């Protein structure tokens, strides 16, 4: 999916025509706008915990208004669904100018890292038997979201048997995938209810 144009405007009849083609496009737009304008602080606030706002958020005719409305509606769905939806749209890395000998010019985005760690804790509370060792759970979730990591190598290092590791990988991926699917359904309904999704025909 291509990135949504950050400069498009909300029309006065947005409730009839909609703004976004899909929930995914809305999240991508809000995350991109947030990272460009505010160093991702709105996303960081969303990932601080399952708090809820008091209203529908910003109502405006520009990018800030659109992003604010998207984040406001995200806060109305289950926190863990929110977390997984945002994590999937976050930049996984950012530039690093520390100039240390080990530096490759990039580092893990701390907000992405925090979100993955939260999801690793969620998995431990949700699945039975509990997938062992947080480092392993983090590796599985990192790979799910596209980071170059090998959970089986991590499992080997942690002395988790391969067969057990493979079972846990399958369970963790299903858990995250179900969260994502249910979150998209819930969020799509929220956006549709307030007229932010385009309707065919």
The tens digit of pLDDT for each residue in 141-197 reads 999 999 999 999 999 999 999 999 999 999 999 999 999 999 999 999 999 998 888
> Rounded to two decimals, what is the model's pTM?
0.75
Whether pLDDT at 8 is above 70 = no
Cross-strand pairs, 108: 93
Q: For residue 83, which of 107, 48, 52, 57 has the smallest C-alpha distance?
A: 48
In angstroms, rounded to a whole number, what is the distance separating the alpha carbons of residues 137 and 116? Answer: 9
In angstroms, rounded to a whole number, what is the distance separating the alpha carbons of residues 183 and 28? Answer: 15
Whether pLDDT at 14 is above 80 = no
Whether pLDDT at 39 is above 50 = no
107, 108, 110, 112 alpha-carbon torsion, rounded to 10°: 150
Q: How confident is the model at residue 200 (pLDDT cuts 50, 70, 90)?
A: low
63, 67, 70, 75 alpha-carbon torsion, rounded to 10°: -160
User: In the prediction, which pLDDT does 58 show?
Assistant: 31
- Which two structure tokens, joined as six digits, stand for 116? 């993955």
Whether pLDDT at 41 is above 80 = no
In angstroms, rounded to a whole number, what is the distance separating the alpha carbons of residues 74 and 85? Answer: 9
Lowest mean pLDDT among 33-37, 62-66, 107-111: 33-37
The tens digit of pLDDT for each residue in 48-99 reads 554 433 333 333 446 778 888 888 999 999 999 999 999 998 877 777 776 6
Whether pLDDT at 198 is above 70 = yes
């Amino acid at each position: 999916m291509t990135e949504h144009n950050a400069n498009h405007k909300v029309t006065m009849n947005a409730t009839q025509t909609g703004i976004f083609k899909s929930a995914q496009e809305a999240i991508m737009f809000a995350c991109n706008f947030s990272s460009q304008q505010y160093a991702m602080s709105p996303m960081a606030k969303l990932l601080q915990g399952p708090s809820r706002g008091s209203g529908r958020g910003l109502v405006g005719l520009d990018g800030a208004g659109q992003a604010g409305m998207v984040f406001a509606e995200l806060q109305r769905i289950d926190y863990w669904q929110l977390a997984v939806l945002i994590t999937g749209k976050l930049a996984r890395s950012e530039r690093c100018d520390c100039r240390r000998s080990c530096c490759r010019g990039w580092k893990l985005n701390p907000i992405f890292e925090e979100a993955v760690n939260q999801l690793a804790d969620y998995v431990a509370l949700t699945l039975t038997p509990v997938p062992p060792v947080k480092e392993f759970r983090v590796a599985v979730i990192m790979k799910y979201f596209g980071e170059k990591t090998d959970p089986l190598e991590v499992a080997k290092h942690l002395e988790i048997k391969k067969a057990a590791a493979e079972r846990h990988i399958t369970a963790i991926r299903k858990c995250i995938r179900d969260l994502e699917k249910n979150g998209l359904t819930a969020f799509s309904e929220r956006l549709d209810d307030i007229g932010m999704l385009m309707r065919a025909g």
